[in-house]
Amino acid sequence: MPHESIIEPVDDTSLDLGAQLLAQGKVVAFPTETVYGLGADATSDQAVAAIYRVKNRPTFNPLIIHVAQPAQARKLVEIDPLAQTLIDLFWPGPLTLVLPRRADSPLSLLASAGLDTIAIRMPDHPVALALIARADRPIAAPSANRSGSISPTTALHVEQSLGNDVDLILDGGPCRVGVESTILDLSGQTPTLLRPGGISVEQIELALGRPIALGGNDGAVKAPGMLASHYAPTRLLRLNQSSAQPGEALLAFGPGFPDATLNLSASGDLTEAAAHLFAMMRELDSPPYTVINVTPIPEHRLGRAINDRLRRAAAPK
Ligand code: AMP
Ligand code: MG
């Protein structure tokens, strides 16, 4: 059977289809001014888990949340006057701001890999903005390529990398900027560059009237998954357990654990397990539990990313 392309030219019909798919928890590739993004509903753990499944990432890296309006960001993160200044100057555009998650934020915990901070931006591309507005929800979107390959700047690149693992690719032509967004962390004492990108350090320093700190290794790109601030429970976490002592929690995966405190996926579905991981770790990292025991999780597909995170959480602190 001939392969039916899932690339669609942008018009009212394809934008509506994209918005509909996003509302159903599906993944949709769309152009931004930087690179093509692999988008999903940022308020749904299940939808965000589908992004990780399609990308085949071995780790859970927090994702950038895309909004259609600054007002939409206001409902998700805390925006102080400094952030407001940069938003006024550089949005829409390739500047991602890392800001504190609002206490009442509806964003998926998986989207921020369990962090209390959120990376957020408003892209400067009519197709991205129209799609997000029609979907009427924030969209989590990493670059639309398989993990380990280079970022796509055309719809064809996306199709070559992801094939029909993605439900729709909106073709908005080649991306204008072609490099990723600049990431600036505003969640600490000093504004800190986490990744250089489409907006220069000089532009930011001029806007703020003061120097910013260069994060990572002297401002080098922070390797994915290498964030020092990754969420880890404060309780002792034990891997590859089959039971728990009184007072301890058992976090299970798969059938056969009727006594589990919580089960990441009783049916053994790795995407469902990924969707539940951070919320369940948080829930068990509280009284009355003293220790979190975790049953074995298969080391393939999304299981690799789940195990990666669990191993970090279990490492001595
Ligand atoms: P990508 O989506 O592939 O462009 O990569 C997103 C980048 O944003 C990764 O390098 C993440 O480490 C970074 N990032 C996302 N959320 C946060 C956050 N809350 N704090 C710090 N960095 C973040
Ligand atoms: Mg990427």
Q: What is the mean pLDDT of each run of 10 residues along the chain (317 residues)?
A: 76 98 98 96 98 92 97 98 97 98 97 95 98 98 91 94 94 90 94 92 94 67 46 91 97 97 98 94 94 97 92 85
Per-residue pLDDT at 150: 86
Nearest-CA residue for atom 2 of ligand 1 = 142
Find the 254 Cα to ligand 2 centroid distance in Å: 31
- Here the tokens at position 294 are 């975790």
**Residues 43 and 187 grouped into a single domain:** yes
Which of 180, 214, 248 terminates a domain? The answer is 214
62 Cβ inside 6 Å of ligand 1? yes
The CATH number of residue 297's host domain is 3.40.50.11030
Distance CA 239, CA 280 (A): 15
Ligand 1 near 112 CB (within 6 A): yes
**Does 127 lie in the same domain as 178?**
yes
CATH of the domain at 32: 3.90.870.10
Query: Which ranges of 97-249 does DSSP label H, i.e. alpha helix?
Result: 126-135, 155-162, 201-208
How much is the pLDDT for 240?
97
Q: Confirm if 277 and 264 have CB atoms less than 8 A apart.
A: yes
Tokens coding 82? 């400094």
pTM, two decimals, is 0.90
Check pocket membership of 39 for ligand 1, CB cut-off 6 A. no
Q: From atom 11 of ligand 1, which residue's Cα is the shortest distance away?
A: 62
Determine how β-strand 37-41 pairs with β-strand 28-30: antiparallel
Assess whether 119 and 178 both reside in one domain: yes
Cα 307 from Cα 164, distance rounded (Å):
27
Same domain? 93 vs 127? yes
pLDDT at 221: 38
- Write out the residue range of the structural domain in which residue 147 sits: 7-214
Task: Give me the pLDDT at residue 178, please.
Answer: 81
Residue nearest to atom 3 of ligand 1 (CA): 142
- My answer on whether 57 and 137 are in the same domain is yes
C-alpha 244 – ligand 1 centre gap (Å)? 35
Res 228: pLDDT: 47
Q: Are residues 275 and 141 in the same domain?
A: no
Same-domain check for residues 69 and 106:
yes
The pair of three-digit structure tokens given for residue 314, joined into one six-digit string: 């279990």
The 236-238 sheet, strands edge to edge: 236-238, 291-294, 249-252, 262-263
Mutate to test the pocket of ligand 1, among 109, 227, 229, 309 (most ligand atoms within 8 A of CB): 227
Would you state the pLDDT for residue 5?
72
Residues 18 and 107 in one domain: yes
Instruction: Tell me if 305 is assigned to some domain.
Output: yes
32 and 89: one domain? Answer: yes
Q: How many domains does the chain divide into?
A: 2
For the Cβ of 161 lying below 6 angstroms from any atom of ligand 1, the answer is: no
